[in-house]
């Protein structure tokens, strides 16, 4: 099987999972978008996914994503591609990320929000931002502590150059994802009350996308189930 055939088969299976999960949750499929997380995979794979109809890709490291986005622009010059940063982000990378990313899903501190707002001044269009909420208290996985979330939301909403788009969260590494996604759904609901346009709820990965869709996810971020296994160190 060629890589293209392999990716096509994985994409078909993945779309079926999303479709079944939406049906089970009695939600329209149009409410849930698929973000293909291409970290550790080459630009050639992204090109094949573009050929298969995908246009939104997630990356977790600036050092990897910046050259990959440039390479893809050469490989598929006509494609309209959207890149989203989903990984932990140091403030000193804000300027670089603001050059290649259309969306940053992992904004978890006031200082990072401020750095991105400054960096976004150099952009033609505003940078869309999801605030990442910590659902497991693990500082190594990023995310804003729930008690600080309101302040972060207001900071992003007030920043020139940033558009508050919603909230993102990662299920705990151990234990049941459902209670964490329920907490995240309540945060999203609260956020929409004050900011009706910030409708995005980014939740669910290869292993737990059905549960996330049952809890209102509007964006599943899928790597492994689409592209295959990654070396452990970079997962
Ligand atoms: C890698 C990554 C994903 C994709 O995870 P899979 O389990 O491979 O689907 C999703 N979200 C974030 C933030 C990631 O870093």
pLDDT, residue 139, reads: 84
Domains of the chain by residue range: 3-227
Q: How far is the CA of 62 from the centre of ligand 1 (A)?
A: 15
Residue nearest to atom 7 of ligand 1 (CA): 206
75: CA distance to ligand 1 center in Å?
A: 24
Atom of ligand 1 nearest to the CA of 225: 9
Q: Could you report the per-residue pLDDT of 163-219, keeping only the tens digit for each?
A: 999 999 999 998 899 999 999 999 999 999 999 999 999 999 999 999 999 999 999
Confidence of residue 9 (pLDDT cuts 50, 70, 90): very high
* Nearest ligand 1 atom, CA 230: 8
Classify domain 3-227 by CATH number: 3.20.20.10
Decide: 86 in ligand 1 pocket, CB within 6 A: yes
* Whole-number Å distance between alpha carbons of 10 and 228: 9
| For residues 15-32, average pLDDT | 98
Strand pairing class (103-107; 82-85): parallel
pLDDT digits (tens, 9 = 90+) for 46-86: 999 999 999 999 999 999 999 999 999 999 999 999 999 99
pLDDT of residue 233: 57
Mean pLDDT of all residues belonging to the chain: 96
Ligand 1 atom with the shortest distance to the CA of 86: 13
Judge if the beta carbon of residue 37 lies within 6 A of ligand 1: yes
Cα of 177 vs centre of ligand 1, distance in Å, is 14
CB of 87 sitting under 6 A from ligand 1: yes
The residues that bridge with 138 in the sheet, in sequence order, are none
The atom number, within ligand 1, closest to the CA of 39 reads 1
The confidence band for 90, taking pLDDT boundaries of 50, 70 and 90, is very high
Is ligand 1 within 6 A of the CB of residue 143?
Answer: no
Residue 172 vs residues 101, 181, 200, 210, 213: alpha-carbon distances, Å: 26, 10, 20, 16, 16
Q: What percent of the chain has pLDDT over 90?
A: 94
Cβ–Cβ < 8 Å for 146, 121: no
């Amino acid at each position: 099987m060629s890589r293209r055939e392999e990716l096509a088969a994985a994409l078909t299976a993945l779309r079926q999972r999303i479709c079944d999960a939406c049906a089970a949750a009695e939600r329209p499929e149009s409410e849930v978008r698929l973000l293909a997380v291409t970290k550790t995979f080459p630009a050639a794979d992204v090109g094949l996914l573009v050929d298969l109809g995908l246009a939104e890709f997630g990356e977790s490291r600036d050092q990897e994503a910046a050259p990959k986005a440039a390479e893809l622009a050469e490989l598929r010059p006509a494609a309209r591609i959207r890149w989203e940063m989903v990984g932990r982000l140091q403030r000193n990378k804000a300027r670089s990320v603001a050059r290649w990313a259309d969306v940053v899903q992992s904004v978890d501190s006031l200082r990072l929000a401020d750095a991105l707002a400054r960096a976004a001044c150099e952009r033609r269009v505003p940078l869309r931002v999801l605030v990442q909420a910590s659902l497991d208290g693990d500082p190594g996985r990023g995310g804003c502590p729930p008690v600080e979330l309101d302040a972060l939301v207001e900071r992003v909403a007030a920043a020139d150059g940033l558009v508050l788009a919603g909230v993102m969260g990662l299920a705990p590494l151990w234990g049941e994802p459902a209670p964490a996604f329920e907490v995240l759904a309540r945060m999203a609901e609260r956020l929409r009350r004050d900011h009706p346009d910030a409708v995005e709820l980014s939740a669910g990965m290869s292993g737990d996308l059905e549960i996330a869709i049952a809890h209102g996810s509007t964006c599943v971020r899928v790597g492994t189930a689409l592209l295959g296994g990654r070396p452990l160190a970079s997962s």
